[in-house]
Amino acid sequence: MAMKHGAVRGAQGTQSRHTVRNVIITIVVVVLVVVATGGAIGYHWYKKLYAQAMQVKALEQDAVSLMSKGDAASNEDYLAKIEANLPKAQQDTAQAKQIVHGSDWNRAAKLPRVGGDIVAVQTLADVADSLISDVVPQFGTVVTGLKSASLTTADGNLNLQPISDASQQMSAVNTTLQQQIAALDAVKEPVIDKIRTQYDAAVSKMRSLAEQLNGLSALMVTLPSFAGASGTRTYAILAQTTSEARSTGGLVGSMGSMTMTNGVISVGDFYGDVQWPRGAGSADVTDEQDVLFNQKTYGLYHQEGAQLLYGVNVHNMTANPNFPDVAQQANDFWKAASFGGNGADCDGVVSLDPYALQQLIAVSGDVTMPDGRVLNGTNTAQFLLHDVYNEVAVSQQDLYFGAVAAQVVKNVFSDMNVSKLMQLADVLLDAAKGNHVYMWSFHSEDQQSLRDAGLTGELGTDSTKPELGVYMQQMNPSKLDWYTSRNATLTKSGDGTYHVHYTFTNTLTSNDGQASYITGNGIAQGVSVESIYLYPPAGGTISNVSLSSSETADSIDSTAIDGRTVWTFQAIIRLGTSVSVDFDVQCAQGSQALTLRQTPSGNGEFNVDYQY
């Protein structure tokens, strides 16, 4: 079954309740399919099971109705409806659970072939009851507690104590939900096709909810220490420009800082890339990194002086797809600058691109620039990734981006309330999935929580959860990645093997009307020149790499880095044309389905088609 991959959006509370509803709907469908296969168990027994199945169906459908948003005008209204209807929904799911664990169902669970599918139904009923009886009420308690507390101090700063208190309760909610996931993992997959399809869909929804709640819990756990509850913290802030691609997002146009002391935030100045000391990161560049990011990454026709100079220029630190390494580079530059750390390390690094800023602005409020321009939750990304280069003087462009980032950071943490807190958490988790935001702390006690929230941007190291990486560097000094469309199709070709077809398209058909800062100059004007890295999953390999373009077919190469063999090639994508790459991926034996992590696109697209 083909599955389109996209970011999950919407309020966390709404998503959790929709997942509960969908799991219950799945139980109804699965129950009906199970009893429909009951010819082998005897007519009278089948008739009795069927009657009970109809009773379960009615109970679960009533629970669905009670948990549905219906005509609730807002999330607040929906939460009120849930609170009013929850006792009756709990009665319904508890009674349904009791029925499917009755003697007739337990007998059926011991039958050959369909017995395992009966167990799957019983487990789903248990999960639905736990969601209604435990997870939803506990989550409601956390939200109610935060609503009754003041998250803002008298002078408008962030009050960390209520968040710290709520994080413990949120961890308990998360533990309950993760236990339900473990119960589902322990169930043997159903053998009947219709049951398996519905069961897999329910488990997928449960995993999505578990991942989201795990991230939310992790954010609440780490926020107090990250915000300086135990002492002042100083973070470097990277402003990435994804219309000029680098592995983790884009070229770093400027870098600034913020200091946090027990919830009091101050944002420092942002400095353009040319102001940071050259060569400050060179000492932390390994030999393998030098080979991949410098020697094997070059411009059109290998022209002289077109290497990235990773470790030398601050704007190219993001060529490394492993964000903790990027953070170390950022700290090197920060420490070396007299206007930065001036010999002192920072406590961590935060990276934002224009899409992350746009999402944050939608929650924290519009930003008015010194020239009167207003950036909001719909126009920020396009302006910062494209329009600014046609409308703002070159000398002011990078600092313009920094000014936006500075205002957004201030707005995000001021005048906090529970609604804003939940929306911000949802935005951060969503943006992290698309690699639009990263956070790394040099304090080891913060790292696991940030990792659980999906914010650390680390390369996957778990061979049981294989993650393919496709990363790119725009080697034509330009902003052409705004016009670069990317599409990936992953097809399962065997046990742990996959075929990948990845296409890059230059949607710009003419340079007319575009500033040269966008299109580039000379022979490469309008030509997107991408140096591509193909990272195999942990414990896996890549093979049979081929390009559709004969112009750069001889650029295919490979090199070792951090225990992996990474394939590289150059894609020269001329005006209105496409270049495709095909390759095979072998994952570790017994691993889960392969996923793709990639450089976020310059235009916000996220076109990945999993054909399994």
367-368 vs 557-561, strand pairing mode: unpaired
For residue 306, the tally of other CB atoms under 10 A from its CB is: 18
User: Are 306 and 299 within 8 A, CB to CB?
Assistant: yes
3-state secondary structure labels for all residues of 166-185: HHHHHHHHHHHHHHHHHHHH
Amino acid 22: pLDDT: 63
Q: Identify which of 124, 141, 28 has the alpha carbon closest to the alpha carbon of residue 86.
A: 141
29 and 11 in contact (C-beta within 8 Å)?
Answer: no
**How many C-alpha atoms does 53 have within 13 Å on its Cβ side?**
22
C-beta atoms surrounding 140 within 10 Å: 16
Quickly count: other Cβ atoms within 10 Å of residue 378's Cβ: 10
Which residues are CB-contacts of 531 (< 8 A; sequence separation ≥ 6)? 296, 297, 298, 472, 473, 475, 568, 569, 570
Nearest to 610 by CA among 441, 467, 449, 490: 490
Element spanning 141, H or E:
helix 136-148
**Segments of the chain scoring below 70 in pLDDT:** 1-46, 69-76, 78-79, 300-306, 398
From first CA to last CA, the distance across the chain in angstroms is 5
User: Closest Cα partner for 561 from 535, 540, 532, 537?
Assistant: 535
Q: Which residues contact 108 (CB under 8 A, 6 or more apart)?
A: 34, 38, 41, 49, 114, 115, 118
Q: Which of 95, 91, 103 is nearest to 133 (CA)?
A: 91
Q: What is the CA radius of gyration of the chain?
A: 26
Query: What residue type is assigned to position 341 of the chain?
Result: G
Q: What is the pLDDT of residue 10?
A: 40
Q: Which H or E run includes 248?
A: none
Q: If 0-12 CB within 10 Å is exposed, 13-18 middle and 19+ buried, where does residue 249 land?
A: buried
Give the torsion through C-alpha atoms of 117, 118, 120, 121, to 10 deg.
130
Contacts with 268 (C-beta within 8 Å, 6 or more apart), sequence order = 256, 257, 258, 259
Cβ atoms of 342 and 336 within 8 Å: the answer is no
* pTM assigned to the model: 0.86
User: Which pLDDT score, from 0 to 100, does residue 180 have?
Assistant: 86
Residue of 543, 612, 548, 556 lying closest to 584 (CA atoms): 543
Any idea what DSSP says for residue 283? Answer: G
pLDDT in tens, 375-399: 999 999 999 999 999 998 887 786 7
**What are the Cα distances from residue 288, in Å, to 293, 304, 325, 531, 542?**
9, 22, 13, 17, 18
Question: Concatenated DSSP letters for 69-106?
Answer: -TT--SHHHHHHHHHHHHHHHHHHHHHHHHHHTSHHHH
Q: Give the separation between CA 412 and CA 427, rounded to whole angstroms.
A: 11
CB atoms within 10 A of CB 417: 14
Specify whether the CB–CB gap between 81 and 138 falls below 8 A: no
User: Would you list the DSSP string of 368-421?
Assistant: E-TTS-EE-TTTHHHIIIIIHHHHS-HHHHHHHHHHHHHHHHHHHHSS--HHHH
- Assess contact for 120 and 109: CB atoms under 8 A: no
CA distance 609 to 588: 22
**Which letter, b or e, does each residue of 333-368 get, where b requires 16 or more Cβ atoms within 10 Å of its Cβ?**
bbbbbeebbeeeebbbbbbbbbbbbbbbbebbbebe
Grouping H, G, I as helix, E, B as strand and the rest as coil, residue 512 is coil
410, 147 in Cβ contact below 8 A? no
CA angle 587, 592, 598 (to 5 degrees): 70
